[in-house]
Amino acid sequence: MLLVGCWFSTGTLAPYAATQASPLELPCGYLANTDHFFHLQPFLMFEGAPPEQWQSALILRRILYPLLAWPLVATWGFLWGGLLINLLLTVAGVVVWIRFIHRREGRAGAIASAWLLATYPGIMYWVGLPYSYAVIVPATLVGCIGLFVISEKSCSLRQLFLLSSGIGVLFIAYDGLLNTLVPAALWILWRQRRVSRIPLALVGLAWPTVLTLAVLHWGLGVRLDNSNSQTYRIILDSWLHIMTAWPDVLQNVAHLPLLAIRNYFYSNFFFLPLSFLVFHLLMRRCGGIRYHVVEEGIMVATVFFFLFLNLAPHYPGWQMRGEWIARLYQPVFVVFVVYLSRGFGRLPRSSGLRRTAVVLVGATVLANGWIVFGGLHGSAITDLAYQRFYQHTPPFRYSYHLEKYGIRPLGFCRQLVSP
């Protein structure tokens, strides 16, 4: 089901392309995001192209993804090679996660995780294009496993450093995970009164990124400060001037409740957050499963990141506040998945709560499956879910472009006719 959903999210069906106002049309009539060339630039470097063709790359700091993809891209081309590496990374991350849940929560919990991930629109939104965003879900799953091991009392200093370093390596595949996994790791150590280990964890989390940036800048002459990388620095700078801008912060507070609700649902395609919320409320009422410290850490990190962006005083450039870019909070999906899986695995089979968990997971799988395959039947729900996830276009562009370009996943080529 996962692989079929991924295939039906390629070609003209790739959501990250087809939800744009004016997507880039590729040979064979497939669609790409208008940032396509920026993602191609690292591969030009590997091909030995002149430095002026790739030194200005906006996202070369995410070098791990093109490094992993290069052998397949060199053999099968950018689109097909990229799809193959995306599938390999996704399947590997999902399988590792399922085995982890099976070991912790049993077979029932692993089955719940498997189905929730097999129909998760957050995989399909990215997987069809050869961009580093495709690692968000598998890297989040693997990073969460690392956090669970770090939270165990038996975790030694050596293990802590190795696990922190492993999580740090994930950041050079997609640096957006820094905002979730680093605060979560610090929260875990603080809550467990192992504060003395925080410096060691920070070194492990930081050194892969620091080394990568040093090699790129001083070794390859890449300019690291660009329009894509400086956004968070600008926001942080606005916070450093909080004493003169506190009226902006007070004004932003009024918008927080509605923004929080919308980002909560939009960031993970409505149905998974809804099921988690219902199950959480039932657990609180019935004294059921409590949050694990890792789940706490990821949720606290997500809330902190949300407040950091949306309470910030006025700043120039790209505005990261609001609901238009709810995708920034996508990594919290792992809490929804693991909490529902724990309910599946730990609650007695005969209990009403277990039956409720079965209904919630089943309904989520069906609803998310409707989104994933909605491009095949013109679903307005699919259109709405993908557009709310990342509002870089007006609504209902997905259906419009599928009607305009046709429903053709990779493998169904339409030769473009020159005017």
What are the domain boundaries of the chain? Answer: 2-223+231-405
pLDDT tens-digit profile of 287-315? 678 899 999 999 999 999 999 999 999 88
Q: What is the pLDDT of residue 283?
A: 85
Residue 56 has pLDDT above 90, yes or no: no
- Report the C-alpha gap between 415 and 185 in whole angstroms: 50
What integer is the mean pLDDT of 311-337? 94
Cα–Cα nearest to 87, from 172, 16, 5, 175? 5
Amino acid identity of residue 21, one-letter, is A
The answer to whether the beta carbons of residues 336 and 275 sit under 8 Å apart is yes
Identity of residue 330 = Q
Look at residues 116, 13, 130 and name the one whose alpha carbon lies nearest to residue 386. 13
105 φ/ψ angles, rounded to the nearest 5 degrees: -120, -5
- pLDDT tens string 128-150: 999 999 999 999 999 999 999 99
> Is the pLDDT score of 173 beyond 90?
yes
Average pLDDT rounded to a whole number, residues 75-102: 97
Q: What share of the chain is helix, strand, coil (3-state, %, to 5)?
A: 70, 0, 30
What pLDDT was estimated at residue 417?
A: 45
Measured distance CA(379)–CA(268) in Å, rounded = 18
> Which residues lie below 8 Å from residue 386, measured CB to CB, with a gap of 6+?
15, 19, 121, 125, 371, 398
Q: What predicted TM-score, i.e. pTM, was given to this entire model? A: 0.95
User: How confident is the model over 237-247, as pLDDT tens digits?
Assistant: 989 888 777 77
How many Å apart are CA 222 and CA 218, to the nearest integer? 8
pLDDT tens digits, one per residue of 361-394: 999 999 999 999 999 988 999 999 999 999 988 8
Asked whether 18 and 402 are in contact (CB, 8 A), the reply is: yes
pLDDT of residue 272: 98
**Cβ–Cβ under 8 Å, residues 170 and 142:** yes
Per-residue b or e along 169-188, where b marks 16 or more CB atoms closer than 10 Å to that residue's CB: bbbbbbbbbbbbbbbbbbbb
Q: How far is CA 171 from CA 89, 112, 217, in A?
A: 15, 28, 17
Token code pair at residue 383: 């259109």
User: Using CA atoms, how far apart are residues 375 and 179, in angstroms rounded to an integer?
Assistant: 32
